[in-house]
Amino acid sequence: MSNVIIVEETPATEYRTLALSREEFIDIYKKMLEIRRFEERVEKLFLVEGELIGPCHLYLGQEAIAVGVMKALRDDDIIISTYRGHGHALARGVPMEKLMGELYGKEIGTCKGLGGSMHSAMCVEKNIMFATAIVGSGIPIAAGIGLALKYRSSDNIVACFFGDGAATTGAFHEGINIAAILQLPVLFICENNQYAYSLPFTKSFAGKNIAAFASGYGLRSYLVYGNDVISVYKVAKEAAELVRENRSPVFIECRTYRQRGHGVYDRALYRPREEVEEWLKNDPIMKFSKKLIDSGLLSQKELEDIDLEVRERVEKAVEESRKAPVLDFEELNKYLYASR
């Protein structure tokens, strides 16, 4: 536990000392807002308009993690996502209409409409190789990709996202152990959003933090406040550089909060109201926008203009997805591994 490097919130007073341009700050804000507005719209399409159906897990409240980590990576680095992957995809630059199209089951979707929300983050053109509903399954797969990169003497790394619940699976321990033994270039990012379904992290996990587990396997491990995009970015940048240079794994646990239920239909009534209120007061986008204003980097008006622009783009993605065709039935065979 003592080996875990703890990183707290970054104050607004530090913003102008960072090696980030004003444009980069704007881009970070835009990306977080894209995720927020996209998902709020998706939630309405499920629950109010009834236009979307099927399983769907929202990323609301966790935006700072996807955006902070992606900014620290190179575009040709490999990403392993999960069923809660809309945020990873948008932060990586997957076009909104491709992601929305997948939710609508249309051919323009990231998986040609065959995957739905749980697989929608998978986008090979953006090097997002995997997004599955099997909790923890991405961890050994990330180790495998890390091994492939090592064989090819590549200088790319793998960034593997997973939740706090995944840390209680065997795959977590096997995957991290093998990554440590074989010295594989994997950056592990645990998004500890306090819950695995309805089970609070404090009841599923014996230790006080997950980062200490990874540290036990010899990995350099960080515990960062995951509702602060700049802190996540700083940690991820340092960690990604270490993975790239040393060709060895590093672990980051981000503390955050799942603002909604496990899936879109879960009202999450099992959570104490005070807990929810406390985390909502620390909303990552609210926090960041306040700091952007306090540091004089952006005005309230500029933030509002960005919001309008993002909302328009979300609406355009919905319109395009509605109009788009579904995959031709005859095409289905093309996407099977084995056909007669």
Nearer to ligand TPP, 1 or 133 (CB): 133
Binding segment (CB under 6 A) for ligand TPP, from list 162-170, 244-252, 284-292, 302-310: 162-170
User: What is the footprint of Mg ion within residues 167-196 (CB under 5 A)?
Assistant: 193, 196
Identify any residues that bridge with 79 across adjacent strands, giving them in sequence order: 128, 159
**Which one of 45, 64, 67, 135 is in contact with ligand TPP (CB under 6 A)?**
135
Q: Is 39 one of the binding residues for ligand TPP (CB under 6 A)?
A: no
Sites for ligand TPP among residues 195-234 (CB under 6 A)? 195-197
Tell me: does residue 60 bind ligand TPP (CB under 6 A).
Answer: no
Per CB under 6 A, the segment of 192-200, 238-246, 304-312, 328-336 that binds ligand TPP is 192-200
Binding-site member from 1, 6, 53, 134 for ligand TPP (CB under 6 A)? 134
Q: Which letter does DSSP use for residue 260 in this model?
A: S
Among 47, 133, 280, 286, binds ligand TPP (CB under 6 A): 133
Q: Which does 166 bind (CB under 5 to 8 A by kind): Mg ion, ligand TPP, none?
A: ligand TPP
Considering just the CA atoms, what is the radius of gyration of the chain in Å? 19
d(CA 192, CA 201): 8
Residue in 163, 175, 185, 284 binding ligand TPP, rule: CB under 6 A = 163
Q: Specify the DSSP class assigned to residue 332.
A: G
Q: Return the exposure string of 260-275: e unless at least 16 CB atoms fall within 10 Å of the residue's CB, then b.
A: bbbbbeeeeeebeeee
| Three-point CA angle 335, 149, 62, nearest 5° | 75
DSSP state of 10: P
Q: Which residue carries 């979300």 as its tokens?
A: 314
Cβ proximity to ligand TPP: between 196 and 214 the closer is: 196
> Which residue, judged by CB position, is nearest to ligand TPP in the bound state?
163
88 scored as a contact of ligand TPP (CB under 6 A): no
Q: Please give the Cα distance from 307 to 289 (Å, whole number).
A: 11
DSSP of 52-117 = --S-----TT-HHHHHHHHHTS-TTSEEEEESS-HHHHHHHT--HHHHHHHHTT-TTSTTTTSS-G
Which of residues 33, 166, 224, 310 is near ligand TPP by CB under 6 A? 166
Instruction: Retrieve residue 205's tokens.
Output: 């996990």
Min separation Cβ 80 and ligand TPP, Å = 14
- Per CB under 5 A, residues contacting Mg ion are 163-164, 193, 196
- Per CB under 6 A, residues contacting ligand TPP are 84, 133-136, 163-166, 169, 193, 195-197, 258, 262
